[in-house]
Amino acid sequence: MPSIADVVASLVAAPKPVICLDTCDILEVVQCLDWEKPGTPRSVACIKPVRHLLTTLAVNPDRALVVVTDLVHTEWNQNIDGIRKKAHEFLAKIDKIVGSSYNAAGLVGTALAVYDPLASKPLVDDLVSLSTALLAQATRLDLDPALSSLALDRVMDKRRPSHDGHIKDSINFEHYLELARRLRATGFVEAVAFVSKNRKDYWEGDKDRIHPDLKPEIDDPTVQLQFFGSLTATLPNMGL
């Protein structure tokens, strides 16, 4: 697993835009098969940019470097089975809802086309494959104890993104800040982006821009880390 110094060295040798991902960005392509709230399914708009990013990198791997921390990798592995299960349950629920309408139709003689249950389709497995492919595409940063210690400071000080006491977001954030900082120190001019759909900890309310508490840190001239609330917003800004 490469350290931040290793990744910086490879990027200095072959510069390209950098996209740092949060765990939720990678899990989201499966997690979107769930309810936003009772009766309202989540948007599946997150799938398209992931597909687009992976295809673009398949055509030309030098277009961008996708980066995750080792913690993101661990979190993905901890959560994917539960999310897969929930996605299956979601499809089963949809089948049940449609089945109920079909029962009603049968009772009054309304003609409907044959319904092919979603639960029997490989949709969830295919989405898990896509999520796995995105994770596999990413370079996995080794965790640096000094940066994890800075993350702990944020927890102690109740500073974003650990203002509510959780350390994981700060561990990722500190590593991405440091990656950007070390790249800029070499004169690296390509874009370095951090993507997170985590509204509670990073967003300014419902706006997909960085929270004012964190803005000075990412805008610092020695860092210049761009923030995006989704890959949909990230890719056009990175020329992808």
Partner 1 sequence: MATSAADAPLTVSTDGTAGPYVVVVSQQLGPVIDAMRTEGIGFRVDQDAVMLDGAPALAVINLGLNADVDRVQAILDRVADDLQSKGRRRLRSPTREVLIVRGNPGEMQRLRKRIDSGVHGGWDRRTDVEERFQRTLPPQAVAYCFSKLVPAVERRAAVLMQGRGSGMGEELHLSEVVPLEGHGQFDLDQRNRVVSDFRETFVKPLAQALGVRVVDRSVSAVPNLEELLSTEAMAQLRAFARAANKGDSHELDLQQWAGFIGQTHLDNAVVDLDQLEAWLADDGFTEEERRALVREFESGRRLLSAYDDERLE
* Residues of the shown chain interacting with partner 1 in the complex, contacts defined by CB under 8 A: 36-37, 40, 43-45, 47-48, 51-52, 54-61, 63, 113, 116, 122, 125-126, 129-130, 133, 136-137, 164, 199-200, 205-206, 208, 229, 236, 239-240
Strand partners for 141? 69
Q: What is the C-alpha end-to-end distance of the chain, expressed in Å?
A: 26
- Indicate the residue among 6 and 213 with the shorter CB distance to partner 1: 213
Are the C-beta atoms of residues 91 and 123 closer than 8 Å to each other?
yes
**Shortest Å distance, C-beta 135 to partner 1:** 11
d(CA 171, CA 224): 18
Distances (CA, A) of 206 to 139, 202, 225: 30, 10, 21
123-137 and 47-59 are packed helices; what angle lies between their axes, rounded to 10 degrees? 50
Q: How far apart are CB 128 and partner 1 at their closest, in Å?
A: 9
Beta carbon nearer to partner 1, 91 or 150: 91
Nearer to partner 1, 40 or 120 (CB): 40
What is the closest distance, in whole angstroms, from the C-beta atom of residue 146 to partner 1 in the complex? 30
Closest CB 219 distance from partner 1, rounded Å: 21
CB-nearer residue toward partner 1: 39 or 145: 39
Residue 205 C-beta: closest distance to partner 1, Å: 3
State the Cα–Cα distance between residues 179 and 38, nearest whole angstrom.
Answer: 40
Nearer CB in complex with partner 1: 133/152:
133
Query: Residue 63: what are its φ and ψ, rounded to 5°?
Result: -75, -30
* CA-only gyration radius of the chain, Å: 21
